[in-house]
Amino acid sequence: MLFSGIVITEPAIFDILIITLLITGALLSYLKFRRYLIRTLTFVLMYLAGILLSMYQIINLNEGIYYLTISVYLICLWIFFIGVLTKFRRYQLLEKIFFGYTIAAFFSSILSIFAFFQLIPHYNWFIKYDRATALFQDPNVFGAFLIPISIYAIHKITRSSKKKKIIWFTIFLSTSMGVLLSFSRAAWLNYFVSLSVFIFLRTLYVKNYTLYLRPSFLNKKILLILMALLSISFLCLFNINSFHELFTQRSGLQWYDQQRFATQSTIIQHTIVTPLGIGPGQAEMIYGLSPHNLYIRVLIENGWLGFVGFMLLFMSTINRSIRRSLLSQRVNQPYFALFASVLIGIFVNSFFIDSLHWRHFWLFLALPWAPLKKKRQ
């Protein structure tokens, strides 16, 4: 995960490492799977079958094969993380995964902040459309990539010593600012939803069909500090002319929003007469504009079968995360709250952005299915 923030080119360094680890893990029997995964794997196979069936309707073969290859790779990434975490069954391994993710997100956010305010040479390399992107190709992806670590930092603040709290406060503030400077409206909504769901799930638990409060999660002092840091940072940024102008511009409807909605309406009508789909990566070729909606893209490109399979995978993973979070009294409870909050945030985000090929999305689709070692708090 250390290289997950460097995705200027495809395949990225992260992709090459994952493929290498997947092959090595398979050869050395470092991947293991449980029987309960059969149903989930059936959903993945339904989604994959929908993609393959839609290939018969394809127009641009090269684009279709390229898009198909990425989808298959992300399914392999999903399999890899489930397999390796099932094999070792330790939440310490999960901590190491998040450690690498945290380093990548923190570095990306600091780079974006310095670049946005032109504090480093060649700052324009890390800015696109006047929005922070760091080493990503798209500011929408960059903003969403930072959100899980912003939420994870809150968890670590509540569990760390006083000295480490300062580090995690810094990580929380920098990644939150990175999300803000991406100027992605969908990422802003994602951030708010993820944060709200995480606090909700960390505050409550279910026992004997009764809902209880979890008293030891977030004390008032920490909550006030977090709110103060965010408020002060935003006010300071808002007084900077370049930020103020871009924030005001991005807060409202954009000139291309009407085009997007019109394209989405046309695509939805066509899904009725194209049950097999039009083929992976073909929406832009046929309609001239990206659907900018995960669900519409999957439905029109991969057909009804692919859409049903994908949504069953997505919804069952969210359901598992929420149930494990509310019912667990163990040390892994915060992780399931994190998984659920991130996935629900992406679920909302995906109504406005096509998130199908986000690497961290498929990572979080995998993590809830890993049988982490149980240990009481």
Residue range 152-203, pLDDT digits in tens: 999 898 887 778 888 999 999 999 999 999 988 899 999 999 999 998 898 8
DSSP per position, 248-266 = HHHHS--TTHHHHHHHHHH
Q: Cα–Cα distance between 324 and 3 in angstroms, integer?
A: 30
Provide the pLDDT for residue 184.
Answer: 87
Average pLDDT, the chain: 86
| Model pLDDT, residue 254 | 63
Any idea which of 106-120, 150-164, 194-208, 232-246 has the lowest mean pLDDT?
232-246
Q: Of the ranges 12-16, 128-132, 204-208, which one carries the lowest mean pLDDT score?
A: 204-208
Q: For 19-37, write each residue's pLDDT tens digit.
A: 998 998 888 888 888 888 9
Q: What is the DSSP letter of 120?
A: S
Token pair 């994602």 is at which residue? 190
Domain assignment present for 117: yes
Would you say residue 375 lies in a domain?
A: no
Tens of pLDDT, residue by residue over 275-315, are: 898 999 898 888 888 888 999 999 999 999 999 999 999 99
Residue 246 has pLDDT above 60, yes or no: yes
The whole domain housing 355 covers: 13-369
The pLDDT score that the predictor gives to residue 331 is: 73
CA 17, CA 121: separation in Å to the nearest integer? 30
7 falls within a domain: no
Give percent of the chain above pLDDT 90.
Answer: 45
pLDDT grade, residue 88 (50/70/90)? confident
Mean pLDDT value across residues 70-75: 95
Tell me which of 68-72, 141-145, 291-295 is least confident. Answer: 291-295
Which amino acid would we find at residue 140? N
Q: Which of 54, 49, 7, 32 is nearest to 301 (CA)?
A: 54
pLDDT of residue 163: 83
For residue 290, the model assigns a pLDDT of: 83
Q: How many domains does one find in the chain?
A: 1
- Residue 48 one-letter amino acid: L
- Domain annotation covers residue 342: yes
Spatial contact of 187 and 140, defined as CB atoms under 8 Å apart: yes
pLDDT, residue 291, reads 85
Write out pLDDT tens, residues 124-135.
889 988 888 989
Question: At residue 106, does pLDDT exceed 90?
Answer: yes
- Is residue 172 within 8 Å of residue 222, measured between CB atoms? no
Split at pLDDT 50, 70, 90, the class of 339 is: very high
The first and second tokens of residue 39, run together, are 């149903």
**What one-character-per-residue DSSP string does 9-22 give?**
SSS-HHHHHHHHHH
Residue with tokens 């570095």: 107
Pairing of strands 131-132, 204-207: unpaired
Q: Pick from 122, 147, 150: which is nearest to 134 by CA?
A: 122
Asked if residue 4 belongs to a domain, the reply is no
pLDDT at position 344 is: 97
281 neighbors 58 (Cβ within 8 angstroms): no
Note the pLDDT of residue 112.
92
Query: Considering the chain, what percentage of its residues have pLDDT values greater than 70?
Result: 88
Q: What is the distance between the alpha carbons of residues 190 and 197, in angstroms, rounded to a whole number? A: 11
Strands, DSSP E only, in the chain? 127-128, 131-132, 204-207, 210-213
Helices 91-116 and 61-88 sit at what angle, rounded to 10 degrees?
Answer: 130
Whether 3 is in a domain gets the answer: no
pLDDT of 377:
43
Task: State the pLDDT at residue 376.
Answer: 46
Give the model's pLDDT for residue 195: 92
Reply yes or no on whether the pLDDT at 89 is more than 50: yes
Task: Tell me the average pLDDT across 222-244.
Answer: 70
